[in-house]
Structure 1
Amino acid sequence: MKIERLPGKALGRSIGSAFGPFVFIATVANDRTANLVVQTKDLLSRLEDQLLALGSHKGAIVSATVYLADMSRKTEFDNVWVEWIGDDQSHWPQRACVGAVLAEQTAVEISVIAVCRAHMSA
């Protein structure tokens, strides 16, 4: 099997990869000077595009790890997340949210594991 990779801008890493039935993505917002809500919306839009590029979609996310620079703002993140992920509980991934020291002005980073569309049963 071949590993498919989406090239990234940062030296030494890709923004996503797929192998067999799984897709792995870690992403941040393009504009890291924006506030948490704006960064989250941008990040989730980018994540959705990256999932599609690797043959998956947000409803196929199995696991998500959210890294927040300021855990006191988790409710703000959660509000944007819930709006994005939708109300269908069958599409809700397992999710962990942890506080972390992030690079530069990054307010949020997300790492996900999803299933490729070709490997999902009807």
Structure 2
Amino acid sequence: MDRLRGKAIGRNAGTAYRELVWVATIPDRKTASISEQSTDIFMKLDRLLAELGTDKQRILSATVYLSDLSHKASFDEAWCRWIGDDPCHWPQRTCVGAQLVGATLVEIMLLAARADGGAIDAPI
């Protein structure tokens, strides 16, 4: 099992077990617009996924939390630019309204498959 330390005590930025990877993150810039926060979060997700042996083309599902659902159209534009044009790489995705901390406008949780099929670990 691989774990990437997060900034907050008691939780990690990512975890991988065998062929599965989970990552969750928020943007660093809290004073930015939804488009800017989305761009920031996508760069962080690219890095976290790579550190755990996968990439955005192997995302199985995504849960997007928006502080205000009126931002959904702007977020969707940024998402489509990031995820690309190939429907073979589009994950299942849900987008929900949520009360987020401070000026955070978006938080994303992903489940992805590892590119190499995952390490063969002993069962937990």
Short-chain TM bin: over 0.9
Within 2, Cα distance between the matches of 1:26 and 1:105?
17
Matched positions, count? 118
**37, 41, 44: which one aligns with 2:42:** 44
Amino acid at match of 1:17: T
Normalized against structure 1, the TM-score is what? 0.95
Q: Determine the structure 1 residue equivalent to 2:64.
A: 66
The whole-number CA distance in structure 2 between the counterparts of 1:46 and 1:72 is 24
Aligned partner of 1:17 in structure 2 is 15
TM-score normalised by the chain length of structure 2: 0.93
Q: Residue 95 of structure 2 aligns to which amino acid in structure 1?
A: C
Moved over 6 A (4+): none
Tell me which residue corresponds to 2:81.
83
Separation in 2, partners of 1:44, 1:12: 23
Provide Cα deviations, 1:26-62, integer angstroms capped at 9, x if missing partner: 0110111211110000000100110000000000000
Unaligned runs of 5+ residues in structure 2 are: 119-124
The yes-or-no answer on 1:35 pairing with 2:19 is no
Aligned to 1:119: 117
Q: Which whole-Å CA distance do the structure 2 matches of 1:31 and 1:4 have between them?
A: 27
- Looking at structure 2, the residues matched to 56 and 20 of structure 1 have their Cα atoms a distance apart, in angstroms, of 12
Describe the SS at the equivalent of 1:29: coil
Partner residue of 1:105?
A: 103
> Percentage identity across aligned positions?
46
Q: RMSD in angstroms over aligned alpha carbons?
A: 0.9
